[in-house]
């Protein structure tokens, strides 16, 4: 039993990676699945697509590695957070499609709760803001809009979960209904100071607590898989939401360490240690990880559109066929044109939290073309990241001199990472292993299994691929950032009309 199976269930695809005992990747498999957009601002996944794709890639990765179930010491799971499912406890059948974290349908409910004065209490207990991003209002919508759901929930017939819980339920054949502290912390229902579900918030949202899963540590026992899935049972020993798993995979174990992951969205987490730092700049206070019952907290900034802006260039505008084409296009862009793209396709995340905003482009000329669009799309990710870091530095002085560790699909672009360092005015470190989300899940499972070393030793093995140093003159950097701030202000003003 010298290998670990890491399951990485994301927003647009499911992946599985086999790691050896030294956490070197051995084999992997990936499968995309459909996205559903039933109305403007609504985003859904078919729950069966999530499960079937995960089961398929997990088996495929084991087979590619030439292994059997008896070679796998543990399974680690990491997942898209906040995405909300509800299912029948007896049959395991979902009552509705999964409502994805990007979904904005509960914006009106969130505004009503704010108007009633509930946000300060919710923020103090959960570290979160009242936004449709989080699971709690999505769950309320399901109970209010799926016929018979509320009565069945009150009778204890239904189960709620984020994607990790859904996968655990299916992997264990319905024997385990559990989540970990990092996923629980993203539901709007979990008191992160007391590490428990909050009865008062559940009552406010009309959510029966019988729906909720048991909350466990990130490296913990989440049950055994069904024997028929892999030929024999395998222990599930690690679970963390995708951004927290990336924090672990980047070995950000010391207060002040900072990572940013560039997937569909962009998520920056700053380790604040045992200190739960309330934000004055509309960041989130969240759980970075919980090990051996000890909670480590983080400040988090969430950007909804990062890699998704490249998908928009490909699928919406059809000016590229694959993501790699954006770098040569950006390099060829006319330097005299300064297009600014505010990619608020599903609203603005931190530090603005404006779910009503939609995307906007500024500075268009008759000569603006695919190259300028590509450059503006890539630069939007850097500008949004700077927004997050400015807020973090204002909230917590320990963030002042942080080096940014980056991971995710977009970091393969040297051009994008150099612009990121330039606009931040800070070094950006790209690790050798950029799939740190799966690595973090694998490490947590391996830690529990006794296969992996303690965090301090794991951190010593973190390896740098390249450091990007800022090269843009300070005056140019500030002028460009102020231009971005004006574009965001104009986008928000347009939504106010």
What's the rounded mean pLDDT across residues 132-147? Answer: 95
First to last CA, the chain: 61
Give residue 59's domain range: 3-242
198 in a domain, yes or no? yes
Residue 312 is classified by DSSP as I
Whether the CB-CB separation of 323 and 277 falls below 8 Å is answered with no
Q: Which of 304, 310, 265 is nearest to 104 (CA)?
A: 304
Residue-averaged pLDDT of the chain = 92
Check if the beta carbon of residue 239 is closer than 8 Å to that of residue 218: yes
Range 240-260 average pLDDT: 93
Q: Is the pLDDT of residue 228 over 70?
A: yes
At residue 147 the predicted structure's pLDDT band, cuts being 50, 70 and 90, is very high
How far apart, in whole angstroms, are the C-alpha atoms of residue 266 and residue 261?
5
User: Do the domain assignments include residue 121?
Assistant: yes
Q: Model confidence at 350, in pLDDT bands (50, 70, 90)?
A: confident
State the average pLDDT over residues 194-202: 96
User: Does residue 356 sit within a domain?
Assistant: no
32-81 pLDDT, tens digit each: 999 999 998 899 999 999 999 999 999 999 999 999 999 999 999 999 99
**Helix count and strand count (H, E) for the chain:** 17, 22
Q: What is the pLDDT of residues 74-116, one digit of tens each?
A: 999 999 999 999 999 999 999 999 999 889 899 999 999 999 9
Q: CB neighbours of 488 closer than 8 A, spacing ≥ 6?
A: 342, 348, 352, 387
Tokens found for residue 173: 């054949």
Q: What is the pLDDT of residue 326?
A: 87
Decide if pLDDT at 497 tops 80: no
With residues binned 3-state (H G I as helix, E B as strand, rest as coil), the percentages for the chain, rounded to 5, are 40, 25, 35
Task: Let me know if residue 50 belongs to a domain.
Answer: yes
Directed axis angle between helix 107-115 and helix 135-145, to 10°? 110
> Residues of the chain with pLDDT > 90: what percent?
73
Is 265 contained in some domain? no
Q: Is residue 485 part of a domain?
A: no
Q: What angle do CA 123, 124, 128 make, to 5 degrees?
A: 25
pLDDT in tens, 400-416: 667 899 988 888 889 99
CATH of the domain at 199: 3.30.420.40
Structure tokens at 151: 């009565």
pLDDT digits (tens, 9 = 90+) for 285-296: 999 999 999 999
For helices 242-249 and 436-449, the axis angle rounded to 10 degrees is 80
pLDDT of 399 strictly over 70:
no
Mean pLDDT of 326-339: 89
- 200 phi and psi angles, rounded to 5 deg: -70, -40
Residue 450 DSSP one-character state = T
In a domain, 332, yes or no: no
Are 71 and 1 contacting, i.e. CB atoms less than 8 angstroms apart?
yes
- The CA distance from 311 to 313, in Å, is 5
Note the pLDDT of residue 112.
95
Question: What are the φ and ψ backbone dihedral angles of 294, each rounded to 5 degrees?
Answer: -100, 125
What secondary structure, in 3-state letters, does 112-174 show? Answer: HHHHCCCHHHHHHHHCCCCCCCCHHHHHHHHHHHCCCHHHHHHCCCEEEECHHHHHHHHHCCC
Max Cα-Cα span within the chain: 65
Upstream peptide bond of 351 is cis (omega within 30 degrees of 0): yes
How many domains, the chain? Answer: 1
For residues 219-232, give the mean pLDDT.
95
The partner residues of 31 in beta bridges, in order of sequence, read 14
> What would the mean pLDDT of 247-264 be, rounded to a whole number?
90
Structural domain includes residue 330 = no
Q: What is the pLDDT of residue 400?
A: 60
Residue pair 164/6 in contact (Cβ under 8 Å)? The answer is no
pLDDT at 300: 92
CA-closest candidate to residue 266, choices 120, 428, 393: 428
Q: Nearest to residue 254, comparing CAs of 273, 229, 239, 236?
A: 273
């Amino acid at each position: 039993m010298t290998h670990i199976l890491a399951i990485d269930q994301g927003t647009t695809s499911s992946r599985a990676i086999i790691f050896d005992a030294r956490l070197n990747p051995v084999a992997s498999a990936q499968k995309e699945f459909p996205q559903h957009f039933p109305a403007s601002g609504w985003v859904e996944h078919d729950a069966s697509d999530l499960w079937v794709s995960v089961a398929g890639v997990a088996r495929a990765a084991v087979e590619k590695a030439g292994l059997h179930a008896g070679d796998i010491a543990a399974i680690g799971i990491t997942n898209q957070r906040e995405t909300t499912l509800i299912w029948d406890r007896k049959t395991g059948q979902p009552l509705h499609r999964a409502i994805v974290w990007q979904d904005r349908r509960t914006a009106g409910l969130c505004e009503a709760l704010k108007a009633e004065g509930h946000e300060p209490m919710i923020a103090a207990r959960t570290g979160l803001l009242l936004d449709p991003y989080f699971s709690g209002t999505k769950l309320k919508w399901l109970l209010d809009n799926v016929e018979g759901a509320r009565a069945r929930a009150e009778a204890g017939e239904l189960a709620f979960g984020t994607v990790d819980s859904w996968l655990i339920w299916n992997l264990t054949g319905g024997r385990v209904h559990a989540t970990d502290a990092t996923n629980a912390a993203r539901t709007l229902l979990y008191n992160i100071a007391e590490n428990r579900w909050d009865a008062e918030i559940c009552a406010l949202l009309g959510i029966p607590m019988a729906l909720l899963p048991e909350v466990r540590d990130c490296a913990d026992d989440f049950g055994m898989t069904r024997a028929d899935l892999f030929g024999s049972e395998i222990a599930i020993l690690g679970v963390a939401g995708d951004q927290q798993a990336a924090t672990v995979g980047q070995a950000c174990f010391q207060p002040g360490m900072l990572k940013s992951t560039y997937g569909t969205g962009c998520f920056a987490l700053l380790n604040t240690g045992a200190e739960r730092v309330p934000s004055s700049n509309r960041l989130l206070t969240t759980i970075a990880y919980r090990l051996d019952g000890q909670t480590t907290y983080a400040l988090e900034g969430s950007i909804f559109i990062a890699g998704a802006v490249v998908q928009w260039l490909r699928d919406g505008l059809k000016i590229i066929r694959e993501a790699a084409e954006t770098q040569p296009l950006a390099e060829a862009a006319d330097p005299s044109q300064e297009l600014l793209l505010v990619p608020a396709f599903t609203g603005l995340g931190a530090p603005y939290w404006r779910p009503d905003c939609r995307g906007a482009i500024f500075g268009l000329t008759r000569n603006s073309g695919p190259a300028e669009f590509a450059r503006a799309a890539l630069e939007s990710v850097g500008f949004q990241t700077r927004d997050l870091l400015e807020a973090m530095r204002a909230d917590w002085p320990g963030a002042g001199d942080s080096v940014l560790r980056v991971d995710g699909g977009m970091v393969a672009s040297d051009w994008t990472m150099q612009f990121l360092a330039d606009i931040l005015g800070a070094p950006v470190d790209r690790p050798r292993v950029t799939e740190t989300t799966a690595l973090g899940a694998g490490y947590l499972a391996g830690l529990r299994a006794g296969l992996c070393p303690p965090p301090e030793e794991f951190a010593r093995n973190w390896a740098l691929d390249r450091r990007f140093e800022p090269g843009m003159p300070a005056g140019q950097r500030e002028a460009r950032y102020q231009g971005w701030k004006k574009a965001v202000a104009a986008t928000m003003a347009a939504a106010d009309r």
